[in-house]
Structure 1
């Protein structure tokens, strides 16, 4: 059976942007940015995207296009010994991430419906917290988790061109239009100038004093938002049917993804500052608790809230399909399972893994900390070492295809992968492991003891 390919270059770029633009940009980015000092985190994150994220995208692109395989098959084809089995890490990572990603995406679907049917009348943060706890766990949460996974399975089952490419050509432009409109509205709010100062005026002293916290958080956010370390970019690049300028495509994808993340700050922080809510408090539920309380206190807040939560739901869907495609492509390429049963089987397994998250939010922290702080960073480290040190000539050769005059770009890229990326990712991985160990020995042990 012939392997599917993208119909157009725009389809590939929009699919990759859709993969990158998701909950990481819109759900996770605001509370992480607020938690780590606003502008101090933003400038660190932007540096990671430019210096680490862009070269790392190219690592995944060259592997995918060269092999035309999923991550497991790609590393088996290119590597030997332990390297031939390293692709399994990306399968595990995709399973873990999508299992809780789907649950959180279900929250956004529910908040969108709440905005339409009831409105956001809970200006009291305590009442907004109660609403969040109702939405975050329980039978209804399980139902919306199932509904979201059914949407993802349906798109993946339709195939690369008729499912993924067709859907992202609608979803990604819709996300950008909605986000630009919401950012323009944020500009009109009373506290917009104070919010912009908090968001755009970096305090380098804060970065220097808190680098052990800001560095791994920014690295994890960059990898998460660019869909790195989970095999999604390998899989999407494997459907490239012709030689293209991978560097140009990677630059467009990284720029659009980062633009979305930055624009989210122009939406969220003016809303929070206008109603006097402190950014960065409340952890993963912050965007729900803070924003629903805030939407109740500003003109047009109900409409704003509906559009915002709907936009995040669309973004979550565009990312989720890329993660499930990694898992489905393995069954198609390596086992020979047809696309429809493969999508149904893997989607069901992911749904079951996410069930504990619908029961207690402690599992969200358990899954997210492991995936974001360890698995994604470890996956990026393995790929950087593999392409930079094990098969560098293959990387240079593949990058040069589709580029008329590569100049010294291939050498500069290889050395960026070999040294700064490897060093920074090792440090980030170490700090991420320490942070996760602290969670396990602290909050998680306390939760177990309370049972």
Structure 2
């Protein structure tokens, strides 16, 4: 391994910068469109309650583990495992996380490009340019997909090239408040429209009769995926964290931000669905609620089109909201391999961001012309790859590096941690509860495939 001598690895300027960047990594397209449809299809607030519990009982402990590994070593996922244990298997765990992040980014830019393109589709419709609007909303158009994905990737490369504090932190400090502001404004408008009340009831009134093992593990899977666990992003972000910061507290804030934005997204999307229904838009397919992709790219645009001028404003704003959420995630997905190249191969940040970003873009362009590949990538690298990575991180902390060493690291920034309940409970979750739950979820995924 090359010893990094360049100085552009970077660090966070503040705890707020880290929290917003980590929350931005967690908050993505899944929070805005995936989570609301899961809630609507699984007992409303019953699913929401279980999701919140799983986020803090399963997601939060693993997040603390990842951040601790990163800060203790000040390295990328591969370098971190190398530094903490002599067993050559564990760096492969870090490498697997890097690979998963790279492959997820390769199709994520295509989907993000769809959202970005739809913002302009709404504008072209308002300008009575239906041909241009149809071109932008055609998700099967390979050339269009490639062009918009390229724009999105170049924006991501530009931010990463700026560094940790001047690039990632500065961008997320702007985008995260903007994202929350847009959500709140749209929620206020939708909730006062006739027809949205049924959606509010569906979202906030729990149907506890629907709670079963499948719902619980579905909620746990959503919580795990939405927090960006298992791919090394939080190890990488943790490696830039100052020793004076309280890791459990920072992880709690990130978890709260993620679930809070997911809750707000549900409070927008589900009432908007029923508002669309009251306006004559069909939100059910074969008796089942429309899936998330149909909802976002068919149902909601139909709603916006039925609302006249205000609908155009809301349509453009909504898809820009999706684009912002996607960009906060693509930033972290690209930062992981960039950090790896900087640490392990002594490459400058700008060169690493450019070369790796453009390399991933080649795969994105292939996917642009073959969108059916996205389903396969999701299964292998998202549905299987991330929980596998999370499970192995739990095993590493619990049985190789040991939770005691992790707690020693957490004492920096949290001097009284050994007098708290956290020290008694967290090791139990990392050693037993989290890996068992993650393994069960992974097993259910594999059983579902075969």
TM normalised by structure 2 equals: 0.90
Q: Work out whether residues 21 and 319 of structure 1, in 8 Å CA contact, stay in contact via their aligned partners in 2.
A: yes
Structure 1 residue 216 displacement after superposition: 4.2
Q: Which runs of 4+ in 1 moved over 6 A?
A: 129-133
Residue equivalent to 1:448: none
Compute the RMSD of aligned alpha carbons.
2.2
- Cα distance, 1:360 vs structure 2: 3.4
Q: Which moved more, 1:32-41 or 1:226-235?
A: 32-41
Q: 1:252 to 1:275 in 2, by over 3 A?
A: same
Secondary structure in structure 1 of the residue aligned to 2:416: coil
Q: Which residue of structure 1 lines up, in the alignment, with residue 273 of structure 2? A: 272
**Structure-2 separation of matches of 1:241 and 1:401:** 9
Alignment of 1:95-174 (within 5 A): 95-119=102-126, 134-174=138-178
2:415 equivalent among 401, 404, 424: 404
CA contact (8 A) 2:100 2:382 kept: no
Please identify, of 139-148 and 194-203, the stretch whose mean Cα deviation from structure 2 is larger.
194-203
The answer on 1:393 being equivalent to 2:404 is yes
State how far apart, in whole Å, the 2-side matches of 1:199 and 1:119 are.
Answer: 32
Rounded to whole Å, the distance in 2 between the matches of 1:169 and 1:84 is 32
Aligned residues between the structures: 429
CA gap of 1:405–1:413, structure 2 versus 1, over 3 A, is: same
Which one of the candidate residues 25, 32, 36 is aligned to 1:30? Answer: 36
**One of 314, 318, 332 as aligned partner of 1:308:** 318
Q: Does 1:421 align with 2:434?
A: yes
- Structure 1 residue ranges without an equivalent (≥5): 439-451
8 Å contact from structure 1 (residues 120, 295) kept in 2: no
Q: 1:320 aligns with which of 330, 355, 366?
A: 330
1:193-208 pair list within 5 angstroms: 193-208=197-212
The equivalent residue for 2:99 is 92
Moved more, 186-195 or 60-69: 186-195
Q: Equivalent residue for 2:371?
A: 361
**2:224 alignment partner in structure 1:** 223
In structure 2, distance between residues paired with 1:416 and 1:80: 25
The CA deviation at 1:132 is: 8.3
Shift of 1:95: 1.1
Q: Per-residue displacement from partner, 1:43-94 (whole Å, max 9, x unpaired)? A: 3322211211111110111000000000011011112321232211111110
Note if contact 2:40-2:202 (Cα within 8 Å) is conserved in structure 1. Answer: no
Tell me if the contact between 1:107 and 1:136 (Cα under 8 Å) persists in the aligned partners.
no
Find the partner of 2:445 among 432, 438, 451: 432
Q: Distance in 1 between matches of 2:56 and 2:195?
A: 30
The runs of 5 or more residues in structure 2 that have no matched partner are: 1-5
Instruction: Determine if contact 1:35/1:281 at 8 Å carries over to the other structure.
Output: no
Q: CA deviation at 1:136?
A: 4.5
Contact 1:120 1:301 in 2 (8 A): no
Greater shift, 284-293 or 173-182, is seen at 284-293
- Is 1:290 matched with 2:299? yes
Cα separation, partners in 2 of 1:120 and 1:48, compared to 1, 3 Å: farther
CA deviation after TM superposition for structure 1 residue 286, in Å: 2.7
Paired position in structure 2 for 1:184: 188
Match of 1:71 among 50, 68, 77: 77
Q: Which residue of 2 aligns with 1:48?
A: 54
